[in-house]
Structure 1
Amino acid sequence: MPDKDHAPLPAQTIVVNALGTLDNPNLLLAPGGIDRSKLAYGNSAGAVDERSLADARAAGLSAVNVTLGHVAGSDDPFEATVRDIATWDALIRQNPAALRKVFTATDILDAQAQGQVGVIYGFQNTEMLGGDLDRIRLFADLGVRIIQLTYNGRNHVADGATVADDRGLSPFGVDVITRLQREGVLVDLSHSSTATCLEALDIATRPLAITHSGCRARADHPRNKSDAELRRLAENGGVIGIYSMPYLRTQGQPQAADLISHIEHALEVCGEDHVGIGTDGCVSAIDDMPAYRRHLAAEIETRRQLGIGAPGETAEVVLFLPDLCGVSQFARLAELLAARGHGDARIAKILGGNFVRLFNETLTPRFPA
């Protein structure tokens, strides 16, 4: 599905994908290609190649929050996470002209200026902490900048979006949030339950993020956020990244118009200083759609077996927007927003400016690893 028909973004445009990947999905689809079963769940470092790096820069991507470490599965969460960090550190060292490890917002600006892509290390679970708060400092010193409290289910910190009897934060979870903010790590409330989200916002002393979600008022799905959560996030000074996932609709295949609808609702509830993008996807286009659909069906079955699937997941709905994908996705999004009457300054905030501001307010500098 090549997609290079739109004019690129101006060179100075900052684009921050608050949750995404740098992998080339086609490496997972080709016969004899990468065996995803040999990678930790969520690990995409093994699928990054010259094409995916070139596509990221061609798309105008300045920085992306990539998921590192344990999300689900049988591997020891701590050991798998440390291995994954080492893998990404090696990948960045091997590609100094293309990649820059992000410690602060300044690294994003420097990456943009030097034609690199900033790699923001993030977690989508906290199981790698075990019950040890001191591991937060360890991971922060290793360069982890964003930590999501929970995936869809319940862990020792909090309840996720698909937990039926929503109990919110645990006492340990309260301590985790306090320590994360003390160490200058951004707390991510994506995948959280409603109670978890609101309780975390109530105790936070710094702005928080929802890196990849949608608006429940536009699609009533547990992975999306209610207006109460969105409003409280904005009052806290945080930012939501709107994703390009199936949950933009409750039925059928979402398209670009659905993304625009969610963005505009978030703008109405939160204000233009608190809305960004977190596609939860890659930049490189899919070359072989039949192979992709077979892979997607297997992935959905894996998620079901791991107990981390969300309602309505089906191989009939792809994990990207068919009319807003590939290297032109960010430029095309800017065009669509402009056609709806949004001005250049607002579009710049949505594409990346708001998350740069948030990172500047929340991330404590660390020495490069």
Structure 2
Amino acid sequence: MAWAAAASMLPWEAGEASTKAAGMTDTGIIINALGGLDDPNRGSDSLVPTLTPRVLAEAHASGLTAVNITLGYVSGPDDPFEASVRDIAATDALVREHEHDVLKVLTAADMRRAKAEKKIGLIYGFQNGAMMGKDASRVDIFANLGVRVFQLTYNPANQLGDGSMAPENRGLTDFGREVVARLNARHVMVDLSHSGERTCLEAARVSTAPISINHTGCRAVTDLPRNKTDAELRLVAERGGFVGIYFMPFLNASGHAHAEDVVAHIDHAVQVCGEDHVGIGTDGSVTQIDDLKAYQTALAKEIAERRAAGISAAGERPDTFPFVVDLRGPQQFQRLAQLLAQKGYSSERIEKILGLNFLRYAQTIWGS
């Protein structure tokens, strides 16, 4: 690949020339372990992708091969089970409508097929296990519907375990252990992003398959609850799992994260986990924001609503953005690759971080 060559064309803001040098149309496999296909310029309360011509064009331009999209219940007054089934059905309809641009990912081979066919693979995932109710057999329902990533908790506690903002840090419940066993049996990825430390460590130990932390930062670099301790990172990697670093404000104690913070957290994760277990889970989309001031006004309202609902995390403030200010838009993956190359990362290591590590891990869980 051309990562190192692109890095020689400093600065990365060089625009179209550096984009071409980075191999925008042939950058290998890029997999976002947690992200979205939506337009932040268009307000929406739905988690279902927004597959407008612009969103699709900018996703293709970014070189994205596949992305784990959040569907289903996260919080709010809706019935968790009904909301989750409804989102899956709506997204299935979108995939059928846009079959020339996207495909539904069920196996690792589907991500390779997305690359070969110049499509974007959509990985269906949950970020809260509340839709389980008290019935672990619901795992079978969602696995049959194509859900491939199951995050046990969001920030608060639920019936499976404690989230990162639950002060008791009580770990997995008995029901949580039952759900993990069922997820293992159905070859669904067990994701411990947003979990409390004990929940993560216990899940890694009881799971018969490697687990993932698809979008996080490193607490040793920035001490915030949404970031993972070295103990969590190390155990997940030692058991064959995957850690994705996000592009979120929690990467910097000021709440204003920059590209250099993403690189610092990736580098720390590589030191702790090894280069075969680290990737990216940006927690964002690739569509550029047109009016940052208008977006910030809407975001302040969203932050206030999250606080009122009790689902926000330490480090979220009205003046923080849920992205990295200088690492966004369709060129974000190429820019990150160039910055990693500048740091001395080889092309092979960069390719692992941008997608091949997640692909290998997914093949372990889902099959080829």
TM-score (norm 1): 0.93
Using the alignment, how far apart are the partners of 2:298 and 2:14 within structure 1?
A: 21
Q: Secondary structure at the match of 1:180?
A: helix
Using the alignment, how far apart are the partners of 2:256 and 2:51 within structure 1?
A: 27
Q: Number of residue pairs matched?
A: 352
Q: Secondary structure at the match of 1:210?
A: strand
Please state if 1:289 is matched with 2:301.
no
Please state if 1:333 is matched with 2:336.
yes
Per the TM alignment, residue 301 of structure 1 is displaced from its structure 2 partner at its CA by 1.1
Please state if 1:270 is matched with 2:293.
no
Please state if 1:56 is matched with 2:59.
yes
Using the alignment, how far apart are the partners of 2:133 and 2:306 within structure 1?
A: 22
Q: Percent identity?
A: 51
Q: Secondary structure at the match of 1:326?
A: coil
Using the alignment, how far apart are the partners of 1:90 and 1:364 within structure 2?
A: 25
Contact 2:255 2:316 in 1 (8 A): no
Q: Write the letter of the residue equivalent to 2:36.
A: T
Q: Write the letter of the residue equivalent to 1:172.
A: F
Q: 1:25 is matched with which residue?
A: 40
Contact 1:4 1:327 in 2 (8 A): no
Choose 304-313 or 140-149, whichever is displaced more: 304-313
Contact 2:107 2:366 in 1 (8 A): yes
Q: 2:307 is matched with which residue?
A: 304
| Matched ranges for 1:155-194 at <5 A | 155-194=158-197
Q: 1:13 is matched with which residue?
A: 28
Encode CA deviations 1:91-142: one digit per residue, 9 max, x unaligned: 0000011001000110001001111000000000011111111110110010
Contact 1:4 1:328 in 2 (8 A): no
Please state if 1:322 is matched with 2:337.
no
Q: 1:106 is matched with which residue?
A: 109
Using the alignment, how far apart are the partners of 1:44 and 1:213 within structure 2?
A: 22
Contact 1:215 1:266 in 2 (8 A): yes
Per the TM alignment, residue 176 of structure 1 is displaced from its structure 2 partner at its CA by 0.5
TM-score (norm 2): 0.93
Using the alignment, how far apart are the partners of 1:72 and 1:364 within structure 2?
A: 31
Q: 1:83 aligns with which of 83, 86, 93?
A: 86
Off by >2 Å, runs of 4+ in structure 1: 2-6
Please state if 1:209 is matched with 2:212.
yes
Per the TM alignment, residue 303 of structure 1 is displaced from its structure 2 partner at its CA by 0.8
Q: Write the letter of the residue equivalent to 2:160.
A: V
Contact 1:281 1:320 in 2 (8 A): yes
Please state if 1:232 is matched with 2:258.
no
Q: Write the letter of the residue equivalent to 2:153.
A: T
Change (3 A) 1:4 1:66: farther
Using the alignment, how far apart are the partners of 2:110 and 2:41 within structure 1?
A: 29
Per the TM alignment, residue 4 of structure 1 is displaced from its structure 2 partner at its CA by 5.4
| Matched ranges for 1:234-273 at <5 A | 234-273=237-276
Using the alignment, how far apart are the partners of 1:94 and 1:252 within structure 2?
A: 39
CA RMSD, aligned part only? Answer: 1.4
Using the alignment, how far apart are the partners of 1:266 and 1:312 within structure 2?
A: 20
